[in-house]
Amino acid sequence: MPHLVAPSLLSANFLRLEDEIRLINRSEADWLHLDIMDGVFVPNISFGFPVIQKVKSISEKPLDVHLMITDPSRYIERFRNAGAEVITVHFEACTHLHRCINAIKAAGAKAGVSLNPHSPVTFLSEIIGDVDLTLLMSVNPGFGGQKFIEQTYRKIRELRSLILAAGSAALIEVDGGVDLENAPLLVDAGVDILVAGNTVFSSANPLDIIRQLKHC
């Protein structure tokens, strides 16, 4: 399967949010990535339910919602009702991860689990057969525009081996510091979904950047 590209709305111009979303609609992007932050699990605050609902009303791309929040199980139904089609929670934020993954699927969304840079891939060994995707953070979560952490390549290869050994169909997504230089290396290492924020939205020609990421 060709890899997917999911521009991250966190790096968009919030004063021109509708224009930015419509630009993504015209692009070769596959998903629209939304980072949801609560100021507790990560040191930043981003989108709430009303914003997600408005984004959903004009986005022609599936909403890939990444919950960087504490106790995400409390809000699964609300995020799904707001328009999330993919919901990813953090291993580090879930006391009962299996229950949370089942709740996401029961709500009718694809279920993902994310790891912070310091968390080893082996943490996913007991859940890998139950998820639709795995998200490796390649920067410390909370802010856009950070430098890519090089050890991510090794973690991707380890995760691919884990997925194959388990007979899982889980996709691998990477978020943080993705650019035109490292995107081909990430795909070669085994990434299925590239999340790119600053690289896309700080460009003078976002449509071309997305095209290049899609065909790298």
DSSP letter for 39, please. Answer: S
Cα gap 140→118, rounded to integer Å? 9
Cβ atoms 41, 90 nearer than 8 A: yes
> How many of the other CB atoms lie within 10 Å of CB of 18?
11
208 is catalytic: no
Q: Facing residues of 136 across strands?
A: 115, 174
H or E element, residue 209: helix 206-214
The structure tokens listed for 107 are 């709500």
Using CA atoms, how far residue 85 sits from 42, 52, 62, 110, 117, in Å, is 23, 11, 6, 6, 25
Here the contacts of 101-110 (C-beta below 8 Å, separation 24 or greater) are 101/127, 101/130, 101/131, 102/130, 103/73, 103/76, 103/77, 104/76, 104/80, 107/76, 107/77, 107/80, 108/80, 109/79, 109/80, 109/84, 109/85, 110/85, 110/86
35 is catalytic: yes
The structure tokens listed for 89 are 């929670």
Catalytic residue among 30, 64, 175, 192: 175
Catalytic residue among 35, 38, 64, 132: 35
Active site residues: 35, 175
